[in-house]
Structures are given as C-alpha cells and as structure tokens.
Chain A
C-alpha cells in the first residue's frame, strides 16, 4: 500500500450534477496529481497541485477544478457532469523537489454518471 487514500470508493451521479472527490496524500508529500482512467485505457493527466497552487494541467475543460489544502490533502471537483466523465479517478502524491519526485497512486474513486 502507498499510503495514499481516496474517498469515496464508488459514486453514482446524474448528468448535470456536480461531484467532489477527495484524496489524502502520503505523509511528507507536497504534490498531488489527478488522473482520469476510462475503462480499458491508461490514466490521463488532469492537473497537478504543488504547495496549494495548480502546477500543470492536461487537456481537460475548466469544469474540472481542484484544491490542495495546507495539510496536502486534495479535492477534485467536476461540474456539469457528462456521461463521458464516468471513469476511475486516481490521485497520486509525491515529494517534489528540484524537478524530481516519484508519484504514488491511491486506489481511485469509481465515478458513474447516468
């Protein structure tokens, strides 16, 4: 186990609703990244937070937003949910210093949008 925890484990939402997913980083880590993994595909990078600020973003629309808190836990918020948002959402934490820091993944939150 990596020490990265995510909640909830599973979630079912209706199209158009909003959802908040949570991640608790591994102790000592200062960076968190979020990924979307559609069924049968590799994870896709959504964004990264470093010291509570967004530090890189993938090809995802603004309705995907995030927060990182002083204790380095994090939230992923998705507004106006679409059916294609159904996926496993993974967070990964790392201790990022001078361009280095291996990422450790949590178990993910399975989001189903109906």
Chain B
C-alpha cells in the first residue's frame, strides 16, 4: 500500500512534443505529490508538486494533473526540449514534504 507505480519506464519524444508520465498510488493517506527531475550524477531536484485539494497545477512548461478518485497523477511536459532529457520520479508523502515514497522513475529522452 506504500507503493507508487510509475509508467512508462522510458520515453522518447521529439523536440517540441508533449511528454506524459503517469503515476498511481494506493494509500489514500498520501497528501503531497511532488515530481523530481534527476540528471546523471546529481541528486533529485524538485520540479513541481501538488496537494490533493486541486486537480491541476501548472508551472511554465510543466503541468501536474491529479485525479483523486482514481488515485492517479501525471506530469505533462509541453514543448519538450533536449535539455529535459533526464530521469523523472513521482513521489508521495503522508506528512507534507516528509518521508517520500518514490516511483521507480521514467527515463525521458528528447530528440533534437
């Protein structure tokens, strides 16, 4: 019940395209859902996060869509750029910002 599932495992998108990564969870006690971006040799960096009281949050080219009833949330990267090529992790926590449960990650490659 603590698991966060993530798909796809890898994703290849053309420059300018839309990248979509999906996550699902079981534990309804989760109350904070961040997305992290990780480049090789670096630690994860917070990209965008959402609380379950809203269905969508947008920051620049990044949008989180949240479906509380389906217990699913997704990351949309608009106008994907080669610099977006990285591994993306969704995560969830019960106590906002603490003790995250991470998904297994999605390796995104944006072709020039």
Q: Chain A residues in contact with chain B, CB under 8 A?
A: 2, 4, 31, 33, 35, 40-45, 48, 56, 58, 90, 92, 94, 96, 99-108
Contacts of B46 in A (CB 8 A): 102-104
Contacts of B18 in A (CB 8 A): none
Contacts of B41 in A (CB 8 A): 107
Q: Closest CB of chain B to A51's CB: distance in Å? A: 14
Contacts of A58 in B (CB 8 A): 99
**B26 on the A face (CB < 8 A):** no
Contacts of A45 in B (CB 8 A): 99-101
A-B contact pairs, 22 of them (CB 8 A): A33-B98, A33-B99, A40-B104, A42-B89, A42-B104, A42-B105, A45-B101, A90-B43, A90-B44, A94-B97, A99-B95, A99-B96, A99-B98, A100-B97, A102-B49, A104-B46, A105-B36, A105-B44, A105-B45, A107-B41, A107-B42, A108-B43
Contacts of A43 in B (CB 8 A): 44, 89, 100, 102
Within B33-84, the residues touching A (CB, 8 Å) are 34, 36, 41-46, 49
Contacts of B104 in A (CB 8 A): 40-42
Contacts of B97 in A (CB 8 A): 94, 96, 100-103
Q: Closest CB of chain A to B23's CB: distance in Å? A: 11
Give complex CA distance A33, B104 in Å.
Answer: 19
Beta-carbon contact of B105 and A56 below 8 Å: no
Contacts of B34 in A (CB 8 A): 102
